[in-house]
Structure 1
Amino acid sequence: MTNGIGDVVDEHTWRSALDELRTREKAATRELDAIAAARRRLPVVELPDYTLIGPDGPIRLVDIFDGRPQLIVYHHMWNDGAEFQCGGCTSFTSQFTRLDFLDNYDARFVIVTNGPIDEALAYRRKVGNRMEWYSSSESSFGADMDAAPGEGFGLNTFVRDGDTVYRAWHTNGRGVEQLAHTFPLIDALPWGRQEEWQDSPTGWPQRPTYSGWLDSPDVANLYGPDSDS
């Protein structure tokens, strides 16, 4: 295996190797199904009646569901007054441009940040984000959901019964990565992510971790109001 090309073999040998890998891929799929089943059986915790800030002012958390029983919240990292916010968060959320399919699952997906709502909405426009944004700058919601100011990002799911909201699931770090479509596509490429930490054959392209990711200015240039997209 040199120069980024695997061993060249005949069709039969290639299919045998593919079948062997497929067995492992199928096992991983079944394990993910089992994890999802366990997630559906997680207990929930009742939440207080949080009030966040939306484009039109204060709004109760239960009203962010917009009548649906389920809600996904991505907690976007934030630094007050910064020209550009977290590149990973900005790139991750830029993927979600068509969320209407969630209507068929009685769910909604929104962004909550600890930043002031005016700054948050301005940044949303700047980078061409399509999701609805809310601010927890005037409540403890972000901190209580494991995404306190200055601490990091995360994703939570919630379910409601009438006006009572329950926290159902939380993840952060590479757990959030599993919900993206970018990394599965890149990981399927012959060279993968080409990052230093990955197990690749000797001599294959590799570069510093994160160096291939779109940063916030890249996202703004591609999808913001002054882009051609």
Structure 2
Amino acid sequence: MQNEVVSREEWLEARRALLAKEKEATRLRDSVNAARLAMPWVKVDKDYVFETPDGRKSLADLFDGRSQLLIYHFMLGPDWDAGCTGCSFLSDHVDGALPHLNHHDVTWVAVSRAPLDKIAAYKQRMGWQFPWVSSFGSDFNFDYHVSFSPEDLAKDKVFYNFTPMQPADANDELPGLSAFYRNDKGEVFHTYSSYARGPEELIGTLMMLDRAPKGRNEDSTMNFVRRHDEYEEAAKAPSCCH
């Protein structure tokens, strides 16, 4: 459907009205960011061990000499053949940001429960460079509520995005982002986590699409997304929606 076509003067009036809302959203985002920075922290006392290409490392080791750590909980389970499409979409935006994050005292690491060889194979397929480690055999994913055992999924409720939810709406792996701080004494603190659509602003492509004439042009959240090496194959398939 084509939007209403108006004169340049009428368009300018509508654009100024939208600008007021955009400025309101910017001020709200600034307020949310300030509240996020003011959140209390929780000291991490549990010892977590991760399998990395350089051997076994602790959570503190993942900081790689920096004081801030962002961990992306990438959905790739031990028995999965490929990484989650949505997680892959977000991860396509990471490599270019790494020099900027590192220069700003921030380390980015993806964590999955899949064994390291499976992670390495998928990482090579996607052509990514960011650090990606395995929490296989660790409680890390379960403690941060992004992985669920068969016993968890058999219960009446599972805990995700800070609220109980129906197991039917969950998967054995779900996405999220967690932030940690390491002080000069080597103590590690959990400062923030975000789940579901919370990390959406990290996906620059979505922000660009929001400004295109058709927007995201989706029937459900990100249903148009494919792994970046699958678009040509998807384009050959018949579609009733696009």
TM over 0.5: yes
Structure 1 counterpart SS, 2:202: coil
Question: More deviation in 40-49 or 141-150?
Answer: 141-150
Shift of 1:189: 0.9
After TM superposition, list the pairs within 5 Å mapping 1:84-163 onto structure 2. Answer: 84-98=82-96, 99-149=98-148, 150-161=172-183, 162-163=185-186
Structure 1 residues 136 and 31 mapped into 2: Cα distance closer, same or farther (>3 Å)? same
Greater RCO (Cα-Cα under 8 Å, separation 6 or more):
1
Structure 2 counterpart SS, 1:78: coil
Structure 2 counterpart SS, 1:16: helix
Equivalent in the alignment of 2:47:
49
For residues 18-37 of structure 1, what are the alpha-carbon distances to aligned partners after superposition, in whole Å with 9 as ceiling and x for unaligned?
00000001000000000000
Q: Identity of paired residues, percent? A: 33
In the superposition, the TM-score normalised over structure 2's length comes to: 0.80
For residues 184-208 of structure 1, what are the alpha-carbon distances to aligned partners after superposition, in whole Å with 9 as ceiling and x for unaligned?
11111111111235xxxxxxxxxxx
For the 8 Å contact 2:89–2:203, the answer to whether it is kept is no
Equivalent in the alignment of 2:192:
169
What is the identity, as a one-letter code, of the residue corresponding to 1:108? T
Shift of 1:167: 0.5
Runs of 5+ consecutive residues of structure 2 not aligned to the other structure = 149-171, 234-242
How far, CA to CA, are the matches of 1:196 and 1:118 in structure 2?
A: 35
Structure 1 counterpart SS, 2:215: coil
What is the identity, as a one-letter code, of the residue corresponding to 1:6? N
Runs of 5+ consecutive residues of structure 1 not aligned to the other structure = 198-208, 222-229
1:195 has 2:207 as partner: no
What is the identity, as a one-letter code, of the residue corresponding to 1:189? A
1:62 has 2:55 as partner: no
Shift of 1:216: 6.4
Shift of 1:220: 11
How far, CA to CA, are the matches of 1:89 and 1:100 in structure 2?
A: 21
What is the identity, as a one-letter code, of the residue corresponding to 2:23? K
